[in-house]
């Protein structure tokens, strides 16, 4: 059984650090603690490189928890019609789940169901079916470790499986696992949704994870996202779960993720000011 959810705030590790070396992990975890966050969201793009003992010690030192996210590459794409590629994706997702469990985390989120990248066309029935099957396998594997899996709905340039919350909910119906939920991100919603409320209300208690990001990935409230409507919708459904502030700048770079997300601009340089300002912004609205 997955752990009981509660409202909590976290910061994505890339707000503070571009890698998970001892220095990078300390920068991210201490930064989250200084800003007043409950947890840090660790990007497990390469979970084999994560020193879990070191990370656990730092989490304990600073009194911060860890959740985790990742996106698949085309080499680990579980929508692939090549069984060897799907097997690599399964292996990566299981390893990420193992690392998260070792860190005491209970929330795995992100683009776990396809590659994080631009596809040349719509998903075929076979590709979609492969994705559904992979999420069923991941859900079962994670359930044994008390972990909730939340599938992030992203824009059309980053997946061809689901681009709106309603499409995500239809996908969840096919997966049909109680610990596999929806993950909404305001940055992507601002591109794809017809408003910031409908998908939140439709998701209800199937909304498992939230990313808060501005339209340009910088300081909250300085772009085009209608945050007031979004947070009001969260309150309407009495949302309980993680809310991660996510912001990317060329000032802090993980090369693989920054290139995948096309992070070319330096929108901020003071991680601590960015993070503390964001937490105040979010709490004022929920």
The full DSSP string for 167-180 is: HHHHHHHHH--TTE
- Whether the Cβ atoms of residue 233 and residue 201 lie closer than 8 Å to each other: yes
Q: Is 193 a catalytic residue?
A: no
Q: Is 126 a catalytic residue?
A: no
Q: Residue 236 and residue 67: Cα distance in Å, rounded? A: 25
| Element holding 227 (H helix, E strand) | helix 227-236
Q: Residue 159 and residue 265: Cα distance in Å, rounded? A: 22
Q: Output the CA–CA distances (angstroms, integers) from residue 55 to 51, 120, 154, 195, in the order listed.
A: 6, 38, 29, 39
Q: Output the CA–CA distances (angstroms, integers) from residue 99 to 7, 49, 134, 152, in the order listed.
A: 23, 10, 19, 20
Picking from 232, 183, 253, 238, the residue whose alpha carbon sits closest to that of residue 211 is 183
Of the listed 107, 152, 193, 214, which one is catalytic? 152
Active site amino acids: 152, 246
């Amino acid at each position: 059984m997955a752990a009981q959810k509660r409202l909590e705030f976290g910061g994505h590790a890339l707000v503070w650090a571009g890698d998970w070396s001892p220095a990078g992990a300390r920068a991210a975890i201490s930064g989250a603690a200084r800003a007043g966050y409950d947890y840090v969201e660790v990007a497990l793009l390469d979970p084999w490189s994560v020193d879990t003992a070191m990370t656990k010690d730092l989490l304990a030192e600073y009194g911060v928890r860890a959740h985790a996210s990742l996106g698949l590459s085309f080499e680990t794409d579980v929508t692939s019609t090549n069984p060897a590629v799907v097997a690599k994706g399964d292996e990566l997702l299981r390893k990420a789940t193992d690392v998260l469990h070792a860190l005491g985390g209970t929330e795995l989120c992100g683009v776990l169901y396809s590659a994080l990248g631009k596809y040349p066309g719509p998903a075929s029935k076979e590709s979609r079916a492969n994705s559904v099957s992979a999420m069923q396998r991941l859900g079962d594997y994670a359930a044994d470790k008390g972990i909730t899996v939340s599938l992030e709905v992203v824009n059309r340039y980053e997946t061809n499986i689901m681009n709106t919350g309603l499409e995500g909910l239809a996908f969840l119906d096919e997966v049909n696992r109680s610990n596999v939920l929806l993950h909404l991100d305001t940055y992507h919603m601002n591109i794809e949704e017809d408003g910031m409320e409908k998908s939140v209300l439709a998701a209800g208690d199937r909304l498992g994870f939230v990313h808060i990001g501005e339209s340009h990935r910088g300081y909250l409230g300085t772009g085009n996202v209608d945050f007031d409507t979004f947070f009001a919708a969260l309150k309407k459904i009495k949302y309980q779960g993680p809310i991660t502030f996510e912001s990317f700048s060329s000032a802090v770079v993980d090369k693989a993720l920054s290139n995948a997300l096309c992070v070319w601009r330096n929108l901020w340089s003071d991680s601590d000011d960015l993070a503390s300002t964001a937490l105040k912004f979010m709490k004022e609205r929920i």
